[in-house]
Amino acid sequence: MEKPTKKGVAPPMAWRTRLSILAAGCLTDATCRADGTINRRLLNFLDPHVPPSAAPRNGVASRDVVVDPAIPLRARLFYPCPSGGGGGTGDATKPLPVVVFFHGGGFAYLSAASRAYDAACRRIARYAGAAVLSVDYRRSPEHRYPTPYDDGLAALRFLDDPNNHPLAADDGDVPPLDVTRCFVAGDSAGANIAHHVARRYALASTTFANLRLAGLIAIQPFFGGEERTPAELRLVGAPIVSVPRTDWLWRAFLPPGADRTHEAAHAASPAGAAGIDSPAFPPATVVIGGYDPLQDWQRRYYETLRGKGKAVRVLDYPDAIHAFYIFPEFAEARDLMLRIKDIVAGAGGEH
């Protein structure tokens, strides 16, 4: 019997997963206001923060650090522990590569301390054997473009100064950090931030004394434009992402009066190309899901990088929804963690 063609707007999922996805959509819709603001008090109630854990959980410990007290800008540092039980395999004397991570949430939602991202960064640290610095960047609409990009570059400059690195002698099992093997990574809006931070780094790479970007991992990056793509039209009703939600998020993030041809949204725009041509722009991996309404923009992003001669590859997951990797029950989420492990182990690798 011939296999039926793909139907619907989502793959088969366990009911618990469906409830979690439904809750995520309700969180967004319940807290965004028609006037372009967000009910932060309600959001903080619905998205309670998880504290850092000096005691290893699943072999990974975490601590919060202050990146820039003047802002204030904070981040959460995750690191595998050699003596923490629960699968810890690290070596407190061996320098670890660093993944600078930016969480998703449309520039407006969630944080480095959100339960889903605390768990996701812990998995990345465990699988990749790397330190993960999850940046708690300022969010829109209170802080519009280019604030998250400024915060991302500030995190790189923080790491560039060895005096800012926690030491095992002072902080127990915290290993030394090897910032010559540094990656920027993120999902959705966080992947957009990772891209623009990589561009800014490439334009200013000679001003960094120690840090070198070895790779960019863009997991289902949030890009857009004024037209509606075939995937956006075909996948109406898909989990997590909808055109009305993304339109609202772009209005909340872009400068007043800007449309979605702005460089922040449109990776192929001439203004958005600055830095990509630099040899310091790192090798990139673009992750795309077959049930993600944003996939056509993500493929255009890949083609933009490839058209400029950059080292870039696609990881395609035909049955993946947007934000699939924060749900560890998906086989694709487990596979992506193994791919990230390979990327980090290869310090960028050959693409």
Q: What length does the chain have? A: 351
Tokens of 139: 């969010």
Q: Which residues contact 166 (CB under 8 A, 6 or more apart)?
A: 63, 65, 77, 174
> What is the radius of gyration, based on Cα positions, of the chain?
19
Q: Which residues contact 66 (CB under 8 A, 6 or more apart)?
A: 72, 73, 74
Distance between CA 259 and CA 36 in Å, rounded?
Answer: 15
Distance between CA 51 and CA 178 in Å, rounded?
Answer: 26
| Among 130, 152, 156, CA closest to 143 | 152
Name the one residue in this structure whose structure tokens are 């690191």. 79
- Active-site residues, by number, are 188, 292, 322
The count of other CB atoms within 10 Å of the CB of residue 36 is 12
Helix, strand, coil percentages, rounded to 5, for the chain: 35, 20, 45
Peptide bond into 141 cis (omega under 30): yes
